[in-house]
Amino acid sequence: MIFDILTIFPELLDSPLNESILRRAREQGQIRIETTDIRDFALDKHSSTDDRPFGGGEGMVMKADVLQGAVNHAREQNGPGRVILLSPQGRAYTQAVAEELSQQEHLILVCGRYEGVDERFRATCVDEELSIGDYILTGGELAAMIIVDSVTRLLPGVLGCADSAERDTFSRGLLKHPQYTRPRVFEGQDIPEVLLSGNHARIDEFRFLASVRQTLERRPELLAGVSFSAAEVKVLKQHGLHGQIMALQSESA
């Protein structure tokens, strides 16, 4: 999979995109990450990528022709790709969107800056806008890195454990169950006895219930979109949780 990141600050991306799982995925040829300096496509001697907005107002606006030149370059180098503008006005980025993007072969991530981009660039060149949250960053670079990281770990063979991505928090709308490791006793707290039982069916049930309880406590709104199998509903009823979940889902309907 190819990620093309278009930015006026390519150096910001160097270290995060060359560490840990991303570095290994790059070395193994599972992903390719290209960074393009938008300034290279500026049309004046000052390498200007932005200008004052027509009609007046605060700040600067990134230029449509310069951004278009960077997108065209990415496509010439790596073929057609889905052009995504990182923008606070975009669709909310979720695990489901990451899974959707992981089916693409080439993503072109445009990192906006200043007061935004010329609307004509968005209308002409952008396939989709994505937002990583309802807050404002100084630029789209951090958002681009988040997308690269979250999509890469979904690609086949990237994670050491094939089940890791499928069992992550948000993979089915539930928070992940609590995890424990050595030492067995920490600050007087022992781990749940069931985890030492060797009974995998009991362990799976314990983890499922812990995941549901944790979601009810911390992010109950997530349960609105979760469906459960008949076997899971039976377990939830046995432990008095099914009614709470049905009430939540009824309220959100």
Q: 221 and 173 in contact (C-beta within 8 Å)?
A: no
24, 39, 82, 153: which is the annotated catalytic residue?
153
115, 149, 205, 232: which is the annotated catalytic residue?
115
Instruction: Mark whether 202 is an active-site residue.
Output: no
Query: Could you tell me where the DSSP H helices lie in the chain?
Result: 20-27, 64-78, 95-101, 119-125, 141-152, 200-218, 230-238, 242-252
Instruction: Mark whether 99 is an active-site residue.
Output: no
> 131 pairs with which residues across the strands?
92
Instruction: Mark whether 122 is an active-site residue.
Output: no
DSSP-based three-state secondary structure for 38:
helix
Residue written as tokens 């008949």? Answer: 230
Q: 86 and 112 in contact (C-beta within 8 Å)?
A: yes
| Residue 210 to residue 21: CA distance in whole angstroms | 28
* Residue 183 preceded by cis peptide, ω within 30: yes
Q: Pairing between strand 189-190 and 185-186?
A: antiparallel
Tokens of 229: 């199998």
Residue written as tokens 């992981």? Answer: 102
99, 149, 168, 205: which is the annotated catalytic residue?
168
| Residue 227 to residue 142: CA distance in whole angstroms | 33
24, 26, 34, 88: which is the annotated catalytic residue?
88
Instruction: Mark whether 168 is an active-site residue.
Output: yes
Tokens of 78: 């790596």
- Give the active site residues: 88, 115, 153, 168
